[in-house]
């Protein structure tokens, strides 16, 4: 069997080697640049192949000697835990730069890219996830309930007992919930997922069971109420227990109906930078409070430097960005829109909670909002989903001469690079700044923040 040297990391779970005979790229999981490996091809295609590691002949110096999670090789959550953390940051930066170059984004403003572009990491890249959603299964012979993550590229559930990237309280609570669900006979196919979310200091906790409503009997509901009643008394941090109903056979996890089962309120409080926020079961909220605070500091810094007259926060979620901007810059006016009605309701509650009178929040899709837009904004903040912005939205922005600056926050470097290039091609927007943040340590994912402005004599 041939030996292969791993050369680089892909933008994904795979490391890359090159077949010396054919020149084809070979993609292998759990490999690290600098490794010498024996590989077995399991999926050969015209231009590339996928392979399993059969033997680690020589370890790279970049390998992590003792990864915290013993399941990292099979769990679908942490694809890069076998790589030293500081090297993960280097590989993420390289992936971002590669995608920008592949899309022929103009980087002439940045000189030495290695020196002028970096990824902000965390001093402690563990226990950062403030929310988990675990699929549920059960042992048919005993009824024992299991919850965890799926194995990579499969529907086989890994029963998680300990996860070093999530808040520590979740390990305890999930384990207890599995015991109680086993005791009371609440399992699949009725119970689809368990959701847990907590405030940054883990002083407030929310639990939700996501169930198939058409299978929910009165006896099941009574059993769930008993489970929530019991665990509510065991954890003083637990403030909210809800039931979310989802009968759809799609990959959308949360349904539209959520019922409060136990608790005096249907949300928890959290603090994100200077703003107190209410977070409900279905709220979209960044999972890494500490890193998101760093991002907010950069966005506020951009706004102070740009000095816009009117600011629009697009794809605003429950308003984490615009709420903090409105709080930090009370002399300015802000508007935000979001398509998700529950997120908009959360935002309105949070505007009242923080006594803000300089933020207007609207429920609308991006396409509908820009199509009917009458107000003139000179700065637009974009924070779209992973698929990025549509050409229709970008065309609407480009067509508005009053828009002088765009601040774009993205969780997907590939669609970010695509959208930057589209703006460059269709208009005179120029890339002024690139910052990257490791929002998801030990995975290949990367959060990027860029600032583009319309070309002037000073920035040509």
Cα-based angle 382, 385, 390 (whole degrees, multiple of 5): 70
Partners of 410 in the β-ladder:
448
Q: What is the secondary structure of 200-251 as a DSSP string? A: TTS-SEEEEEEE-GGG--HHHHHHHHHHHHHHHHH-TTEEEEEEEE----SS
Beta-sheet strands, E only, within 233-305:
238-245, 257-262, 267-272, 275-280
The SS3 of residue 64 is coil
Q: Which residues are catalytic?
A: 411
Residue closest to 431 by CA, chosen among 453, 413, 448: 453
What is the sign of the dihedral through the CA atoms of 312, 313, 318 and 322? negative
Looking up tokens 């090159």 gives 18
For 99, residues 6+ apart whose C-beta sits below 8 A from its C-beta are 11, 413, 414, 416, 417
Which letter does DSSP use for residue 62 in this model? T
Strand order in the sheet with 311-314: 119-120, 429-437, 447-454, 405-410, 379-382, 311-314, 334-338, 359-363
């Amino acid at each position: 069997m041939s030996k292969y040297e791993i050369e680089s990391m892909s933008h994904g779970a795979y490391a890359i080697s090159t077949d010396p005979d054919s020149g084809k790229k070979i993609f292998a999981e759990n490999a690290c640049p600098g490794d010498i490996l024996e590989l077995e091809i399991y999926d050969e295609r015209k231009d590339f192949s996928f392979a399993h590691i059969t033997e680690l002949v020589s370890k790279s110096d970049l390998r992590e000697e003792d990864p915290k999670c013993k399941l990292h090789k099979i769990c679908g959550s942490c694809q890069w835990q076998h790589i030293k953390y500081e090297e993960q940051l280097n590989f993420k930066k390289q992936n971002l730069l590669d995608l920008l170059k592949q899309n022929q984004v103009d980087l002439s403003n940045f000189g030495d890219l290695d020196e002028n572009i970096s990824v902000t990491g965390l001093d402690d890249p563990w226990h950062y996830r403030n929310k988990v959603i675990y699929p549920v299964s059960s042992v048919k012979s005993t009824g024992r309930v299991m919850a965890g993550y799926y194995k990579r590229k499969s529907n086989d559930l890994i029963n998680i007992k300990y996860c070093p990237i999530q808040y520590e309280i979740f390990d305890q609570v999930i384990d207890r919930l599995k015991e109680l669900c086993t005791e009371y006979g609440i399992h699949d196919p009725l119970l689809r997922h368990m959701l847990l979310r907590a405030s940054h200091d883990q002083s407030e906790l929310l639990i939700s069971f996501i169930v198939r409503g058409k299978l929910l009997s009165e006896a099941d509901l009574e059993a769930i109420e008993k489970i929530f009643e019991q665990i509510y008394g065991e954890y003083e941090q637990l403030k909210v227990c809800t039931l979310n109903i989802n009968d759809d056979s799609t990959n959308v996890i949360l349904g539209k109906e959520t019922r409060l089962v136990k608790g005096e309120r249907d949300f928890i409080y959290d603090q994100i930078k200077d703003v107190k926020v209410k977070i409900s079961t279905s709220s979209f909220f960044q999972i890494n409070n500490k890193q998101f605070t760093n991002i907010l500091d950069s966005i506020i810094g951009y706004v102070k430097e740009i000095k816009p007259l009117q600011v629009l926060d697009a794809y605003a979620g429950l308003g984490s960005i615009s709420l903090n901007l409105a709080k930090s810059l009370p002399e300015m006016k802000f508007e935000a829109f979001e398509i998700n009605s529950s997120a908009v309701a959360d935002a309105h509650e949070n505007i009242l909670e923080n006594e803000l009178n300089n933020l207007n929040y609207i429920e609308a899709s991006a396409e509908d909002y820009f199509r009917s837009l009458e107000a003139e904004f000179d700065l637009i903040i974009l924070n779209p989903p992973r698929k990025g912005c549509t050409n229709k939205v970008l065309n609407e922005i480009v067509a508005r001469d009053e828009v002088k600056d765009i601040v774009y926050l993205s969780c997907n470097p590939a669609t970010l690079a695509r959208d930057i290039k589209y703006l460059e091609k269709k208009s005179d927007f120029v890339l002024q700044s690139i910052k990257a943040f490791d929002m998801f340590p030990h995975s290949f994912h990367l959060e990027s923040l860029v600032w583009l402005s319309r070309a002037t004599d000073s920035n040509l």
